[in-house]
Structure 1
C-alpha cells in the first residue's frame, strides 16, 4: 500500500500529488511511530532530514511509520491514517531550527499526551527528538522530551529503534525502556541523566553509501517543486567562526558517484505536477559544502549526460570551476553564494577565506553563461568589538580599534557606527557585483539576504553578544536605505523579532520551560514573555557570557 493513497490527516491534503519513492506502509508492524516536523507540509517535504528519518523508521522490520506536520490551530494528527498522537508507541520530532521548539510544544498540547516528560505515565508514547538545533543544545527542551538522539540519525536511530522494540516486546515498563536507552549512541535521557549528565558524544556515520540521504517522495507542493533531493556530501571544510557545521558534521564525507547514479537511475522519468500534467523531476544536490564533494564536477556531468536538470545548494565560491558553472548554467537559473561579509578582510577574519577577485570572477562568468539571478547571503549585526579591533602588546590593554569605530561610551551610537559600516560594505560589494554580473549583456537580478549574527552553541563565538531588537530594526532600516533603491537588487528584510527569539532558544536552558508553554498557549503574549526573559537575565544574549564549561550544552562533545 502506498502511503500517499490515504492522506487523511491534513485539512487540504497535498499528499494527493505525491509520487512515493519508498514502499512504506502504516500497517503490518508490531510497533507504531509517528514522525513530526515542526512546520507545514511544504517545508517538511523540503527537509531532507524528514525524508531520511521516515525512511530509517519505516524500513525497520519492527516499526510502521506515519508522518505529521504542525498546522496552526489544528490538532496534530498523522497524515496517513489521521491518528492522534496517543495512538503511537513512539513520537519522533526532527527539529532543524530553534523556532521549531514552540511547534513541538504546540503539537503535544494539541494532543492528549502530557506536554511535560515528568507527567507521562506507563501508557504514554516515548517522545524522541533529534535534529541539528536540538542536538546543539538539548537542555532547553529537556523538560518536554524523553529521549534525545544527538548527532546523525543514520548512526543513532537504527540502534534506538531496535532497543526500544526489544524492550517493549518484552513487556518492560516505560521507565525501564528509558533507562536502557542511556548507553545508545548519541543518547541523552534527561530524566535519568539529570541536568549534569556525563559527556555525550555526537553519533556520526562513517559510510555515506550505506544510508544515502535522499528524497523518499516527490511532490510539486514543496519549496523545491518535484525535485529529488540528494545529500551528496556531509561536513564543511570552511572555518566560519559563527557556524557549528564544521564541528558538528566533521569529518567531510561523501556518497560515491556510483551510488548516486544507482539511486538516480531508479527515479521515475515522469511525475504529476500540481495541475496533473506530467513532468520530469529535477535533481537537487544538497550539502553544507556541496561542491567539496571530490567528484562534484563529474557528478554534474554524468547527470546532465543522462538528461537530468540539476540544481545545487549554496556553492563554495573557492570550489567553483568553469566546468561546474557550465554544467549548472544549463539548467539552474540562480547561483547562490555566501560571501558573509562585504569586506574581504572581515571575510577572512570570520573564517571565510574568499577574495573579492574570486567572488567577482565567479559572478562575471555566471552572467556570461546566461544565469539570470545571483543570490547572496551575508551575516550582519556583529557588535563584539573583538571582531573589529586588534589586540595590543600589553595584556589587558584596550583593543586597537579602527578610526570609524570611535564612540564606545554610548552603546546605541557604537552600534549605529557598526551598522552603517556593515551596510556600506555590503552595498559597495553589491554595486561591484552588479557591474560584472551581466546575463546576455543586461544587468542581472541580485537577491541579498543579511542574517543577524546569533551566537550558536559549539562555535568560537558562542559567548559573543548579539544586537538588541531595537538595533536590528535600525540595521534593517539602514540596509533597506542602502540596497532597497538599487535597480535589480532584491533585499530581503531582517526579522528582528524572530532573530531575538532564535537567540533565546539557542542559548537558553530548561528554566525556560514554563515560559515556552505560556508563549504557545497565549501567542499574543510572546513579545512580552521574550522581553521578560531578557530583562530578568534568564538568558543573557546581549552581553558576553560563559565559555563552554558553564554553558547548558557543555556536556556535549563534538
Structure 2
C-alpha cells in the first residue's frame, strides 16, 4: 500500500498539469486532522462528484462533525477527481486518497458514500476502482474496508446492491455511531470475519445489508418479492430518524477554490407537511422537526465567525412553514445588522408572506427571488397537490418586482401525469403574464428565468405507479416552450435534456438487475453522468442490450395497482396504502391540505410513536389524528403494512 509521503511526492509532479489543483491538496481552514496511529476507527467520507460540489454537502458535514467528536475515531474526506486528474493518477499509480492525511482510501476501516442523486452511481464504482478496492461487494475480503452508502438515492438501493456492503436508510447522525461501534467490536477480534460483521450491521435499525436478501421475479419481469435469507435480517428495513435534531456543525470547511455554494448553511427544520405528490424528499423526510430560533441564530453566528463566509442559507424543504419564521427573520436581522452578509431563505411558498420575510432581510438580501409553482395550469396543480391560484402567483411576483427585485426565477416541471400540450402552453402564458405585471410596477428592467425540468416518478411517492413521459413527448413540449419563450429577451429559459431524465428514471426505478447494467455502462466509459462535458450517453443502451433488459420496462410502463416494487422491503415509514390512496385522489384532481392542519394517517405517527413519547416538546410538528381517513377499495399486499 502506498504511503502518504509517497503520494505527496507524486502529487508534486502532476498537480500543475490539471485544472484547479486546489481541489486535491487539502489543508483548508477548519479541517479536522487527528492522529492516525491512535484513532481506533478510520472513516473516509466520500462525495462521488468533484470537490467543487461535494465540499458544500450538508449531510457530509454533519457526519464529519459527528465522527470527529469521538475520541476513538477519525473522519476524513475524498471526492471524485475530474477526468484530467484521474488520468494522471492512473498513469502514475496514485490511488485515491483523503485530503486530510493523504492516506489511500483502501487503508480505512469504513468508507461512507453519500448518494443524494442517482447519476452518481457510475462515479461511485469509478472511485472504488481508483482506490484499488474491488468494485463488487462479493469480491471483498477481511483486508478491505466496509463500504456503506446513504442519502436520498438509497431510498431504492437495489440498483447498487452488488457494490455496497450496507446502506443506511434515512438519517445518519445517530446510526453512524452504531456502525462505527460494530466495526470496532468485530474488526478488533483476533479472528475477524467480514460476514459476521455484516450480520451485525444488518441487525442495526435503519441498516440494509443486501447480501442477506434475495429477489425473485414473475414471468412478466416484475418483482415477486425480496426476502431475507438469514433470520437476523429484518423482513422490512425501516428508515432511521433522529427524534431531536442534533446541534448543527459550525466549523465549516473553507474551500481552497471557488465552489458551487461558498456559504454557511444552517438547517432550520427537517421534513415537510405540504404533501406534494411528485416530491420524494417531502415524503421520505417526515416527520417535521424544528430547531429553536436561538439555536439557529447562535449556530449561524458561530459558523459565520469561524469561516468568514459572506452568505448564510437557512435550509429546509419549506422555509415559510417553520413555525417561528417571523421571529427567526427578526432575530437574524438584529444579530447581523451592519455586517456584510447576504441571507438566503430557499424554498419559500408562493404568497405575500414570503415577500414580506425577504423584505425584512432587505439589508442582507441577494439579487434574485426564486419560486416554484411546478405547474402552470390550475388543473395540473391539483394533480400534483400544489394548488396555487394564478392570481396568487401574479400578486406575489408583482410584490417582488415592486419591492426592488429585478429578477425572478420560476421552477416548472413538464411530464407530470395526465399533462397535455395545453398545460405546457400554460407555462408560456403564465411567464408572459408575470413579465407584463412586472413591467407595470418596475418598467422594462424586469427579468424572468423559467427553469423547466422533466418529471421523474420517484420511489416512495404517490406517483411511483405512473410512467415517465416519452422522449418524443418531452421534445415536443420543450420545442413549444423554446419557440414561444425565447422570443422575449427578458425571459431566460433552461431545460433538461430528455436523455438525462430517462437515465435518472432507469437508475431510480430499477431493480437488482440494473446493477449489471450500471457495471457494464461504467466499463463502457460512463462516469460523471450529471455533467455534459464528461458523460457518455452512448454507454448505456448497449449495456441494457448486453443484459437482455428493455429500458422502457423501467420508464414508460404504467405499474399495476398491486405491483411489488423493487424497493418494497425498504420503507420510509409512509404506508403504501396511503401513497396509493393519494395517487387515486390525484387522478380525480383532489387536493390534500397541509398535514399540520389534518393528519391523513400516512404511517409516520405509529412507526415513531415511542420516539415521540421519549422526546416530547415543540420540535415535533406532526399532529395527532383528528379525523377518520377514507380507505381505498383495494387493499394492497404490502410487506409489513
TM-score by length of 2: 0.75
- Distance 1:83-1:515 versus aligned 2 partners, 3 A rule: same
Alignment equivalent of 2:271, drawn from 229, 235, 255? 235
Contact 1:480 1:493 in 2 (8 A): no
Tell me the SS of whatever aligns to 2:422. helix
Query: Comparing 356-365 with 426-435, which one deviates more in the overlay?
Result: 356-365
Contact 1:463 1:545 in 2 (8 A): yes
Alignment equivalent of 2:409, drawn from 359, 363, 375? 375
Matching of residues 184-195 of structure 1 within 5 Å: 184-195=204-215
Report the CA distance between 1:518 and its aligned residue. 1.6
List gaps (5 residues or longer) in structure 1.
1-5, 272-278, 389-417
Alignment equivalent of 1:526, drawn from 515, 522, 539? 539
Report the CA distance between 1:328 and its aligned residue. 4.0
Report the CA distance between 1:251 and its aligned residue. 1.2
| Aligned residue pair count | 510
Deviation digits for residues 90-136 of structure 1 (CA, Å, limit 9, x no counterpart): 111000001011111111122221111111111111000000111x1
Tell me the SS of whatever aligns to 2:67. helix
Tell me the SS of whatever aligns to 2:513. helix
Alignment of 1:478 onto 2:480: yes
Contact 2:355 2:400 in 1 (8 A): no
Alignment of 1:334 onto 2:372: no
- Distance 1:535-1:178 versus aligned 2 partners, 3 A rule: closer
Matching of residues 303-452 of structure 1 within 5 Å: 303-307=332-336, 308-318=341-351, 320-330=353-363, 331-382=365-416, 384=417, 387=418, 418=420, 420-438=421-439, 440-452=442-454
Distance (Å, rounded) in 1 between the aligned partners of 2:33 and 2:561: 45
Contact 1:234 1:249 in 2 (8 A): yes
Query: Comparing 346-355 with 160-169, which one deviates more in the overlay?
Result: 160-169
Tell me the SS of whatever aligns to 2:149. strand
TM-score by length of 1: 0.85
- Distance 1:496-1:76 versus aligned 2 partners, 3 A rule: farther
List gaps (5 residues or longer) in structure 2.
1-7, 87-94, 216-226, 229-234, 526-535, 573-641
Tell me the SS of whatever aligns to 1:462. helix
Report the CA distance between 1:353 and its aligned residue. 2.3
> What is aligned with 1:401?
none
Distance (Å, rounded) in 2 between the aligned partners of 1:303 and 1:462: 40
Contact 2:26 2:99 in 1 (8 A): no
- Distance 1:455-1:538 versus aligned 2 partners, 3 A rule: same
Report the CA distance between 1:292 and its aligned residue. 1.3
Distance (Å, rounded) in 2 between the aligned partners of 1:343 and 1:214: 42
> What is aligned with 2:532?
none
Query: Comparing 37-46 with 142-151, which one deviates more in the overlay?
Result: 37-46
> What is aligned with 1:453?
455
Tell me the SS of whatever aligns to 1:303. helix
> What is aligned with 1:253?
289
CA RMSD of superposed structures (Å): 2.6
Alignment of 1:25 onto 2:42: no
Matching of residues 105-124 of structure 1 within 5 Å: 105-124=125-144
Matching of residues 168-247 of structure 1 within 5 Å: 168-171=187-190, 172-195=192-215, 196-197=227-228, 198-208=235-245, 210-212=246-248, 216-219=252-255, 221-225=258-262, 227-247=263-283
Report the CA distance between 1:377 and its aligned residue. 1.0
Report the CA distance between 1:432 and its aligned residue. 1.1
Contact 1:128 1:148 in 2 (8 A): yes
Contact 1:48 1:215 in 2 (8 A): no
